[in-house]
Amino acid sequence: MATIVDVNGNPIQQAVLREQQTAELTYLHREYANHPARGMTPYKLARLLEEAERGRLQAQTDLFLDMEERDAHIYSEMSKRKRAVLNIEWTVEPPKNPSAREKRDAAMVQELVSDIPGKEDMILDMLDGIGHGFSMLEIEWQQLGASWLPKTLHHRPQSWFQISQNDQNVIRLRDNSPDGATLLPFGWIQHVHKAKSGYVSRSGLHRVLAWPYLFKHYAVRDLAELLEIYGMPLRLGKYPSGAGDAEKSALLRAVTQLGHSAAGIIPEGMSIEFENASNGTEVPFSVMFDMMERAQSKAILGGTLTSQADGKTSTNALGEVHNEVRHDIQASDCRQLAPTLSRDIVYPLLVLNGGQADNPRRRPRVVFHVSEPEDMGALATNVQTLVNIGLPVGQDWAYEKFNIPKPKDGEATLQPQRQSAAPTPAPDGSETPPTDPSVAANRSRLHAALAILRGTDSPQPFQDQVQMDKAVDQLGQDGTLQRQAVELLSDVLKRLQEAPSADAALGLLAELFPDMDDSALQESLANMLFAADLVGRLTADDSDQA
């Protein structure tokens, strides 16, 4: 056991397998959060963030915890981002072109990983680093027979740690020493998550969210004061000259009681009047509140339309665009998790259980199976088209792409629909009319094109092209194409003129496109392209014969 080293070649201490590093630091377990969000001001926030840049993270991490607890919008958006990763399957894969030994090692580690209790909670706790910049899980090991396996993964608060004085990217455990204690190998899952570039203390997403959080809660507080002042009429008590303190106190109690129970008594000779407060409006506070929430959504999920619907700019098309951005963020989160899991979970399981880890390039690694969202119907159509024109497409790729398992030997399989039989010739040599409408339309189009092309007996070269030019000119003169284009676009142009913004116009185009009936225009253009293609083929044949 003494010869086992970590990924950096440092020998591991056997004590870390028997006892957690924080077991002796009992004062950390007795610490409570200071809740710096109380009475937060712009000056206090700036000082707090600067202190974190100097390596003292406790106040910053406590603030980040307060933000998620006090701001339901931040909690909701962060929860969406974290839980989106939980749905992604991840496996332990061998290196490229693996040997039999490397395959066995990867399979062994995969089996051990599947036995780790609370794998989903492990991923969720690691993703806490999105907001804080890093997340620390302390590993409690156990030996089951001949196998070493994590028994429990303890999420430790970020306030237990500090930044090294010599390297701002090195995280150390607070042990009351100036530079902190080095984290023991095999004792921790140390996930550093870069929501943005910078040192660890500045890479957390919550630093970006701190200012919108502060401004939004100023707006909430001001709105509460507005409601308190303008939400009910002013109650004004009047007492006669010469009234004593007891009478004044009785009048004040009566006025106060009216605000809660709508009942009270006053001495004779006194009066209470209700004065309407000057009109106030909540609009400025609501605008600030909504603007800050949109800024938070953009920072966390990359957009706003996957999190809220205001009935103005929210369209299904723009929502899909924003959802694609959200998918990119999900893939980025997975890519950052993979090396951490490979280093702090896969490697320790490999070497502690007798695997081969001499060559860093040949070690098993974690792979998240993140796939781009695709239109399977369109993909199937494209594959069919490519196969029909003779492009070889591998079956293994198709099975994997469509997520369809290969049929087992002897297993019943689906069969393609039978094609209609070819038309039988009539006794006079002509063909019977096809029953398929699309076939009939294509055939009539072919005969029409042949009639046009063979209608000229001029021996001049390229006469067929001249005939095609005349046909195009004829379409332009009678306004066929123009009429079809106007019918297609008139309603679209009218709706676009009413769009309030460029984003709304793009969303409107995406919504209107599926319902646009361009069949007439398509048919005209298809006829022209078909005839032009046929002209080229006939002209080429004539040239070859000449």
Q: What is the DSSP string of 287-317?
A: HHHHHHHHHHHHHHHS-STTT---SSS--HH
CB 85 within 8 A of CB 128: no
Please name which of 327, 350, 348, 301 lies closest in space to residue 137, comparing C-alpha atoms: 348
197-203-204-208 Cα dihedral, nearest 10 degrees: -70
Q: Which two tokens stand for residue 451?
A: 């009639």
Cα separation, 270 vs 248, in Å, equals 9
Please name which of 230, 273, 242 lies closest in space to residue 255, comparing C-alpha atoms: 273
**Beta pairing, strands 271-275 & 134-144:** unpaired
Containing 319, the helix (H) or strand (E) segment is helix 316-341
What is the pLDDT at residue 466? 62
Containing 439, the helix (H) or strand (E) segment is helix 437-453
Helix (H/G/I), strand (E/B), else coil: 353: coil
Strand order in the sheet with 188-192: 147-156, 134-144, 188-192
What is the pLDDT at residue 234? 65
Q: Can you give the residue ranges of every domain in the chain?
A: 14-208+322-368, 237-275, 380-404, 474-540
- Write the burial class of residue 393 (CB in 10 Å: 0-12 exposed, 13-18 middle, 19+ buried): exposed
98-139-77-44 Cα dihedral, nearest 10 degrees: -130
- What does each C-alpha distance from 383 to 95, 158, 264, 366, 402 come to in angstroms? 30, 51, 82, 31, 11
Instruction: List the pLDDT tens digit at each of the 546 positions of the chain.
Output: 447 887 877 778 888 889 999 998 999 999 888 899 998 999 999 999 999 999 899 999 999 999 999 999 999 999 999 999 998 999 999 999 999 999 999 999 999 999 998 899 999 999 999 999 999 999 999 998 889 999 999 999 999 999 999 999 999 999 989 899 999 999 999 999 999 998 999 999 999 999 999 989 888 777 676 666 665 666 677 777 778 888 888 877 877 776 666 566 666 667 666 555 555 566 777 888 888 899 999 999 987 765 555 555 555 555 555 565 578 899 999 999 999 999 999 999 999 998 888 888 999 999 999 877 666 778 888 888 878 877 888 888 888 887 788 888 888 887 776 555 445 455 454 555 555 555 455 555 555 555 554 444 444 445 555 666 666 666 555 667 777 777 777 777 777 777 777 777 777 777 777 777 778 778 877 877 777 777 677 666 555 555
What is the pLDDT at residue 36? 92
**368 strand-pairing partners:** 90
The strand ranges marked E within 17-110 are: 90-93
What is the pLDDT at residue 139? 96
Say which residues have a Cβ less than 8 Å from residue 257's Cβ, sequence separation at least 6.
263, 264
Give the CA count within 13 Å in the CB-facing half-sphere of 168: 13
Please name which of 292, 336, 306 lies closest in space to residue 204, comparing C-alpha atoms: 336
| Residue 5 per-residue DSSP state | B
Say which residues have a Cβ less than 8 Å from residue 43's Cβ, sequence separation at least 6.
none
Helix (H/G/I), strand (E/B), else coil: 139: strand
Please name which of 246, 312, 304, 236 lies closest in space to residue 508, comparing C-alpha atoms: 312
Say which residues have a Cβ less than 8 Å from residue 93's Cβ, sequence separation at least 6.
106, 364, 365, 366, 367
Q: What is the pTM of this model?
A: 0.64
Q: Look at the block and give the residue holding tokens 């309030």.
A: 500
What is the pLDDT at residue 461? 43
Task: Compute the residue count for the chain.
Answer: 546
Please name which of 228, 234, 327 lies closest in space to residue 276, comparing C-alpha atoms: 234
Q: Which two tokens stand for residue 507?
A: 């969303």
Say which residues have a Cβ less than 8 Å from residue 403's Cβ, sequence separation at least 6.
none
Please name which of 250, 295, 290, 287 lies closest in space to residue 268, comparing C-alpha atoms: 250
What is the pLDDT at residue 453? 47
Amino acid at 493: L
Cα separation, 271 vs 240, in Å, equals 9
Give the CA count within 13 Å in the CB-facing half-sphere of 116: 23
Say which residues have a Cβ less than 8 Å from residue 202's Cβ, sequence separation at least 6.
52, 53, 133, 196
